[in-house]
């Protein structure tokens, strides 16, 4: 296990009816900007519930933050922050709204063009307005981490930044607010959380026995309850467990002291930027192929994953690894996800431009060994059709 510092300042306020207590978390007299997406927050009544809980505060609203939040939209919010002298941000939505709000928080106090925050990947960004979250879609884990992924349509770019300045002060996780999610978003959330665990767990043995078991606990719970949520979406205990899984999958805990991969995510971001494929859908389509191409480097952890998660103990190592990858693909399909790129309308003719896009964003030495090159990615992409 490597040395590490684990610090996560986000206060998690979990459970039914907890939106009512957000005024305890926001300084009295604050000028609050409530941010939300395309309309679900309004339609589901969450926005009204938030505004009722903030009775007496000076409130400004900014809606329209799109899935895969764009610089172009968010710059309008930054203007509003300056105009109304906003000093607290409250994101009401899923990963896109939260990420967009993190960008607004840092961009509003950044000297220069806020797009530089992305180009610097957040390096040197240590100031941001305070922000809180009311989570309505458990998936990205953005509600309790220091990252955000921002697109710039004019450049066909989707890049991430990391800065502890954008850790949410608090996050309300009320499972009942996820009941209105379309099934596809329930599936997206389960698969995104599953792949977050993979990116931090399926690397190399590190004698990180507790982190491994935390990670395996999240995987077991997602496998056990993901399909149930599709059948019984208003089962509170199921939705509560899945909501907590998504948060714990990317709050830094299972990453402590171990190397991280993220190559599947980085390729996935290019697919979203180029073709508009939803984030989790890119991961489900790519993962089986990426695991196949990288199986020798991930041999020990793939065998451990296969045994501890799927009970695979028979056969040669090759057979067990192939079975573990097949079970993963099967689980994604049970979650109604497409597990190849052909079903997203792509063909092998798209491979060159995907690799060019990776090179354009300097994504050329990915993975826990920084050895996932565009050539390695090409081999994986060829298996996705
Ligand atoms: O836009 P609205 O109207 O709100 O509708 C949204 C959106 O259309 C809808 N929705 C959200 N909550 C709902 C709801 N519909 C009904 N009922 C509710 N309770 O769901 C749609 C998708 O929302 P979105 O926020 O885009 O989904 P998700 O939470 O999966 O976030 C995806 C974004 O997270 C980023 C991805 O790149 C992508 O941009 N990620 C952020 C990470 C991070 N900050 O750590 C890591 C992740 O790997 C990921 O990259
Ligand atoms: Zn993700």
Ligand 1 pocket check for 142: Cβ under 6 Å? yes
CA distance 220 to 285: 21
Ligand 1 pocket check for 141: Cβ under 6 Å? yes
DSSP 366: B
pTM for the predicted model, two decimal places: 0.97
Atom of ligand 1 nearest to the CA of 158: 37
Q: Which domains does the chain have, with CATH numbers?
A: 11-177 (3.40.50.1970), 183-382 (1.20.1090.10)
CA distance 43 to 226: 25
CA distance 256 to 7: 10
Ligand 1 pocket check for 136: Cβ under 6 Å? yes
Atom of ligand 1 nearest to the CA of 68: 39
Q: Quick check: helix, strand or coil at residue 152?
A: strand
Q: At CA 268, angle to CA 215 and CA 189, rounded to 5?
A: 50
Closest by CA to 134, choosing from 94, 103, 185, 190, is 94
Element (H, E) at 149: strand 147-152
- The residue length of the chain stands at 385
Per-residue pLDDT of the chain (385 residues; tens, 9 = 90+): 999 999 999 999 999 999 999 999 999 999 999 999 999 999 999 999 999 999 999 999 999 999 999 999 999 999 999 999 999 999 999 999 999 999 999 999 999 999 999 999 999 999 999 999 999 999 999 999 999 999 999 998 999 999 999 999 999 999 999 999 999 999 999 999 999 999 999 999 999 999 999 999 999 999 999 999 999 999 999 999 999 999 999 999 999 999 999 999 999 999 999 999 999 999 999 999 999 999 999 999 999 999 999 999 999 999 999 999 999 999 999 999 999 999 999 999 999 999 999 999 999 999 999 999 999 999 999 999 9
**Is the CB of residue 132 less than 8 Å from the CB of residue 168?**
yes
Q: Residues of the chain with pLDDT > 90: what percent?
A: 100
Ligand 1 centroid from CA 55, angstroms: 27
Q: At CA 77, angle to CA 71 and CA 81, rounded to 5?
A: 135
Ligand 1 pocket check for 293: Cβ under 6 Å? no
Contacts of 141 (CB under 8 A, 6+ apart): 95, 193, 196, 246, 247, 248, 249, 250, 251
Contacts of 357 (CB under 8 A, 6+ apart): 156, 270, 273, 274
Q: Quick check: helix, strand or coil at residue 313?
A: coil
Neighbours of ion ligand 2 (CB under 5 A): 192
Q: What pLDDT, on a 0 to 100 scale, did the predictor assign at position 210?
A: 98
pLDDT tens by residue, 304-340: 999 999 999 999 999 999 999 999 999 999 999 999 9
Ligand 1 centroid from CA 95, angstroms: 4
Ligand 1 pocket check for 168: Cβ under 6 Å? no
């Amino acid at each position: 296990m490597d040395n590490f510092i684990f610090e996560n300042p986000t206060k998690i306020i979990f459970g039914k009816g907890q939106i009512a207590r957000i005024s305890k978390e926001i300084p009295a007299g604050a000028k609050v900007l409530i941010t939300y997406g395309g309309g679900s927050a309004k339609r589901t009544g969450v926005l009204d519930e938030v505004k009722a809980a903030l009775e007496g505060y000076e409130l400004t609203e900014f809606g329209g933050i799109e899935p895969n939040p764009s610089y172009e939209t968010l710059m309008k919010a930054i203007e509003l922050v300056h105009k109304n002298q906003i000093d607290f941000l409250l994101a009401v939505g899923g990963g896109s709204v939260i990420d967009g709000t993190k960008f607004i928080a840092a961009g509003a106090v950044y000297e220069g063009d806020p797009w530089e925050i992305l180009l610097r990947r957040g390096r040197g960004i240590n100031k941001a307005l305070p922000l809180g979250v009311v989570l309505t879609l458990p998936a990205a884990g953005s509600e309790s981490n220091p990252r955000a992924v921002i697109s710039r349509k004019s450049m066909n770019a989707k890049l991430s930044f990391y800065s502890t300045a954008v850790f949410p002060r608090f996050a309300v996780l009320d499972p009942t607010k996820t009941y209105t999610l379309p099934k596809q978003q329930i599936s997206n959330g389960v698969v995104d959380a599953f792949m977050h665990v993979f990116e931090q767990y399926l690397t190399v043995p590190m004698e990180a026995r507790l982190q491994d078991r935390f990670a395996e606990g999240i995987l077991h719970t997602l496998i056990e309850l993901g399909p149930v949520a599709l059948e019984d979406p208003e089962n509170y205990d199921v939705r509560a467990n899945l909501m907590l899984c998504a948060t714990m999958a990317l709050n830094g805990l299972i990453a402590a002291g171990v190397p991280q991969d993220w190559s599947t995510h980085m390729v996935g971001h290019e697919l979203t930027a180029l073709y508009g494929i939803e984030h989790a859908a890119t991961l489900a389509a790519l993962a089986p192929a990426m695991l196949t191409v990288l199986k020798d480097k991930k041999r020990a952890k793939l065998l451990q994953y296969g045994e501890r998660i799927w009970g695979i103990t028979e056969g040669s190592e090759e057979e067990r690894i192939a079975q573990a990858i097949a079970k993963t693909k099967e689980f994604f399909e049970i979650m109604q996800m497409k597990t190849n790129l052909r079903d997203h309308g792509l063909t092998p003719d798209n491979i060159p431009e995907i690799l060019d896009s990776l090179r354009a964003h300097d994504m050329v030495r990915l993975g826990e060994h920084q050895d996932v090159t565009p050539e390695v990615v090409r081999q994986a992409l060829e298996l996705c059709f």
